[in-house]
Amino acid sequence: MNVYFMRHGETDWNTIKRLQGRTDIPLNQNGIDLAAKTSKAVHESGIVFDKILTSPLIRAKKTAELMNVYSKAPLSEDSRIIEFCFGDGEGHTFEEIKTNDRFINLRNWFFAPENYHAEMGAESYEDFFGRLDDFLTTVRQLEKELPAEKAENYNLLIVCHGGVVRGLLKQMLEWSVNDFAKTKIPNCGLNLCKLTNGIFSLEYTAKIFA
Catalytic residue from among 8, 90, 143, 161? 8
Alpha carbon distance 42, 124 (integer Å): 35
Catalytic residue from among 43, 77, 83, 152? 83
Segment 77-135, tens digit of pLDDT: 999 999 999 999 999 999 999 999 999 999 999 999 999 999 999 999 999 999 999 99
Percent of the chain with pLDDT over 70: 100
Helices (H), the chain: 12-15, 29-44, 58-67, 94-99, 104-111, 125-145, 148-151, 162-173, 177-182
- The amino acid sitting at 88 is D
Does the annotation mark 8 as catalytic?
yes
Does the annotation mark 43 as catalytic?
no
- The amino acid sitting at 206 is A
Confidence of residue 210 (pLDDT cuts 50, 70, 90): confident
